[in-house]
Amino acid sequence: MSWGFVSGRRLDRHGLTTPVADVAAAARAMCGTHSQVLSAAELSIGLRLADGTRQDVQNALWSERTLVKTFGPRGTIHLLPAEDLALWCGALGAIPSGNPSPPGIRVTPEQTEELVTALGTILSDGEFTVDEVTDALGVRVGSWAVDPVVPAFQTFWPRWRQITHLAAHRGVLCFGPNKGRNVTYTNPARWLPGFTPAPAAESTSWLLHSYLYAYGPSASPHFARWLAAPPRWAASVFADADLDEVTVEGTAAWVNRGDTEFPSAADGVHLLPHFDAYAVGGQPRELLFPGEAAKRALAGSQAGNHPVLLVDGVVAGVWHQKKSAKNVAITVDPLRTLTAQQRGQLDTQVERVGAILGLKPSLTIDTVTVGPHA
């Protein structure tokens, strides 16, 4: 099948052509919402709703508890549906760990177990900043756990922080609301009574099914890259699954059994923020970021560093936003000439971005000169 039909299916399943019902459904449609930058995650979710705003995402996180902010695929911060958290933890916890930290920094398997158990106990009592968790671990576990030995951002973090994502995948840690400028951690069982990670085999099968529904057709190396998992492990997960093989532009790929309908080719214009899941998880990269788009919108081989303009499902430019108290100035830098219809669709996207942010938008078509993450 052609790439255009693959892109069309992914756009629809990501909620970008047919809006989804609510905030949690939007995060589920993406198979998790990347949230290293929360404002970008709010925009990613808002663009998949008919009329939602960034405040709806905040409400889902801290009032309704239908979303959980935690460490997801690749050990990066994600927003995940609370209803799916047990399956996410079961699957992510089953992925073999990567290379250990250097001697003098690393923790042994026995120490990891001790830290995970202690974190689960400490965080069950409330929402704590990193410094508060460090102090509590020093008392409960010992000084080795809190020695400042992990290089990070021109300083050194305490030793326990290297297993933060593992504790999240084991189901004893997630983010709480900020205390001023400081992030907090808590135990998700405080908000989800009876919560515990689901069995590994069930969870891994569920995650592959969810991934292929959102990003299929795909292959095991792409699944491994999306998770930052060992390629052999990903290949074994594919081998154990009941899948259908298809070809995309002549290359073999797989979908869930029976999920072989591709109703229509990609059409339309979309603005996606930093680290939007459609751009980060979509493979093959050379088809999603064709030609000049790879030079303009990728940082090396990494996607997500630049907000992107999609035209008919593929990256066709970059964009930038500059916010003030009441306004957001949006500059779009297309890599192709937009038709009158596409320009009208772009205007609609700009209006939608403004509505999500609660700001009055303006649009300029011009060269974007800022670098990644700006």
For residue 221, how many C-alpha atoms fall within 13 Å in the half-sphere facing its CB? 5
**pLDDT tens digit sequence for 255-286:** 999 999 999 999 999 999 999 999 999 999 99
**Contact (CB, 8 A) for 27 and 49:** no
Tell me the two tokens of residue 102: 């250097």
Q: How far apart are CA 279 and CA 301, in angstroms?
A: 12
Average pLDDT of the residues in 352-361: 98
Burial class of residue 155 (count of CB atoms within 10 Å of its CB; 0-12, 13-18, 19+): exposed
pLDDT band at 371 (very low <50, low <70, confident <90, very high): confident
**Contact (CB, 8 A) for 306 and 296:** yes
pLDDT band at 1 (very low <50, low <70, confident <90, very high): confident
Which residues, 6+ apart, have CB-to-CB distance to 345 below 8 Å? 268, 269
Does 41 score more than 80 pLDDT? Answer: yes
pLDDT band at 53 (very low <50, low <70, confident <90, very high): very high
User: Which helix (H) or strand (E) covers residue 77, if one does?
Assistant: strand 77-81
Tell me the two tokens of residue 222: 């792409």
**pLDDT tens digit sequence for 221-241:** 999 999 999 999 999 999 999
User: What is the predicted pLDDT for the residue at 165?
Assistant: 96
Does 98 score more than 80 pLDDT? Answer: no
Q: Which amino acid would we find at residue 96?
A: P
Does 174 score more than 90 pLDDT? Answer: yes
Average pLDDT of the residues in 82-100: 93
User: What is the predicted pLDDT for the residue at 40?
Assistant: 97
Map out the domains of the chain with their CATH numbers: 1-93+197-315 (no CATH), 99-195 (1.10.10)
